[in-house]
Structure 1
């Protein structure tokens, strides 16, 4: 179903909504029924979008975008505004990233295309999901997962540094999100506290893929300076090619420092001085930061990319050992679509069976799905399928927050305690 299905005048709307009409729903046998069948939620909504004056007015003034009822603004960026909305059929809350196409230059259009390409099909508990793309003549709407718990930057600015346990839980989720992206050859390139969101249940969601890029393999060289300068790796200031994964790793080191101290590791009055601090790796970790966390920060914030910790090294560090995830860390293949048409094969996963049952309750038939394959983001069936799938996965615990179990002792501090104890014992023996 083309993106223009949400435009008025109503003649255009009528024409484009035909693809959501199941030809099997009408036939000669309908005349034989004594009473008309009650319309399904989908039929009622599509009829309202074509004939109901109030609904058509809401579409014209922007209070509705396709199947989404738009509410207040919740954020903004250089080229976009973000509004809260909810799906008129499923009632799920979503975030609408609204872009004015008339203001997008060639570079901005290229970045937008990369953002959609990167997010397409990503399916991980700690990555914001793209549900649907609604394309109109003047605006483009990215319908994404709604995270209602605010962002990491605001939380630390308002409440101060995170506790050691909260830092572990938050950082571990960011780390697994980046591992998942890198395993799928996506480099984020704009990882910062403002782009780390929380759900109402404190689950972390890495967001904003506007500067992301997809590479053929993780060793591909990149040459574009991206992201926020305080989070930028030293190699980005050298005006030369760089590897993508170490750039994201460096940004994670800055994030970790910010979480556990409430301050940024690299601070300066001018961009030139900031650049110098970052290239020299000039920062100081406060002594009260736990030893295992200090060693992790120092292993990440190394100026030479080849000496920087890799993601798997970070996963195995002492500081994160007590973090336990209640769900499997291996996320599904992002390229695998819903297999909703495999009705005879009996191979559907539980979540897919639940999605298909919910679609039938809403009024979507197999013909709707055949006509609007749930692979392309630019049709409303895809949006409904992805929202329902995510809902089913959340019910099975995919957005459950990890926990910290037990206590892992710092071996260096334990060694120091043992040494001090030995000295004390020796001194006692001499005095006695």
Structure 2
């Protein structure tokens, strides 16, 4: 259990390739800054196809002092965000709330992850429940009525996440078909 103002222990676990410089060097750390670093490494890996810091010998991972290539094919917003996440100094690293407000982070955020509309009438207009998808999620073992209630009340739980993932998947397939003209 971590409390505000406490530091995490010096022992670390997980992949050294994702570990922040302060974890690799065995320094005390507060937690969120370490998570931002790891997320920055993962984001880099997802967008670039390789890790920014990679060496078979763990001590060599950060000898470069946080220097890594930033491919030119990255979108400008990602080119701005990744270096802010991968700052060696944890006190200068972007925070999680700052990441959530970053324009690149918000650019293609699905509506169900964004701040919900303030009033229930807007919510009802915002989303019609798709009966086919509802049935598909129910087949996964979720209670249909609870899922409907959760969707109407804009709750986030495993069932609503499953529902929205299927919605997004179907939308992506539909867009691919439209682009191919068939």
Q: Secondary structure at the match of 1:243?
A: coil
Task: Show structure 1 runs of 5+ residues with no match.
Answer: 1-213, 331-386, 404-432
Q: Distance in 2 between matches of 1:301 and 1:268?
A: 17
**Residues 388 and 269 (structure 1 numbering): CA distance in 2 closer, same or farther, change over 3 Å?**
closer
Q: Distance in 2 between matches of 1:284 and 1:231?
A: 16
Q: CA deviation at 1:329?
A: 5.5
**Residues 248 and 391 (structure 1 numbering): CA distance in 2 closer, same or farther, change over 3 Å?**
farther
1:164-179 correspondence runs (5 A): none
- What's the counterpart of residue 245 of structure 1? 32
- Normalising to structure 1: TM-score of the pair? 0.28
Q: 2:60 aligns with which of 252, 261, 273?
A: 273
Check conservation: 1:220, 1:244, Cα contact below 8 A.
Answer: no
- What's the counterpart of residue 69 of structure 2? 284
Cα deviation, 1:96-150, whole Å, max 9, x if unaligned, reads: xxxxxxxxxxxxxxxxxxxxxxxxxxxxxxxxxxxxxxxxxxxxxxxxxxxxxxx
> Do residues 326 (structure 1) and 112 (structure 2) align?
yes
> Do residues 236 (structure 1) and 20 (structure 2) align?
no
**RMSD of the TM alignment (CA)?**
2.7
- What's the counterpart of residue 88 of structure 2? 303
**Residues 226 and 287 (structure 1 numbering): CA distance in 2 closer, same or farther, change over 3 Å?**
same
- Give the structure with the higher percent helix: 2
Q: Distance in 1 between matches of 2:145 and 2:6?
A: 36
Cα deviation, 1:5-50, whole Å, max 9, x if unaligned, reads: xxxxxxxxxxxxxxxxxxxxxxxxxxxxxxxxxxxxxxxxxxxxxx
Q: Which has the higher contact order (CA 8 A, sep 6+)?
A: 1
- What's the counterpart of residue 222 of structure 1? 8
- Give the structure with the higher percent strand: 1
Q: Distance in 2 between matches of 1:394 and 1:310?
A: 35
Q: Distance in 2 between matches of 1:235 and 1:290?
A: 29
Q: CA deviation at 1:392?
A: 2.6
- What's the counterpart of residue 121 of structure 2? none
Q: 2:146 aligns with which of 377, 382, 392?
A: 392
Q: CA deviation at 1:295?
A: 0.6
- What's the counterpart of residue 51 of structure 2? 264
Structure number with larger C-alpha Rg:
1
Instruction: Say how many residue pairs are matched.
Output: 131
Task: Show structure 2 runs of 5+ residues with no match.
Answer: 117-140, 152-159, 169-182
Q: CA deviation at 1:235?
A: 0.3
Cα deviation, 1:204-235, whole Å, max 9, x if unaligned, reads: xxxxxxxxxx2122x31112222210000000
Q: Distance in 2 between matches of 1:276 and 1:252?
A: 20
Cα deviation, 1:53-91, whole Å, max 9, x if unaligned, reads: xxxxxxxxxxxxxxxxxxxxxxxxxxxxxxxxxxxxxxx
List structure 1 runs of 4+ shifted beyond 3 angstroms.
Answer: 327-330, 387-391, 393-397
- Normalising to structure 2: TM-score of the pair? 0.62
**Residues 245 and 395 (structure 1 numbering): CA distance in 2 closer, same or farther, change over 3 Å?**
same
Cα deviation, 1:328-362, whole Å, max 9, x if unaligned, reads: 759xxxxxxxxxxxxxxxxxxxxxxxxxxxxxxxx
Check conservation: 2:16, 2:24, Cα contact below 8 A.
Answer: no
Q: Distance in 2 between matches of 1:289 and 1:299?
A: 15
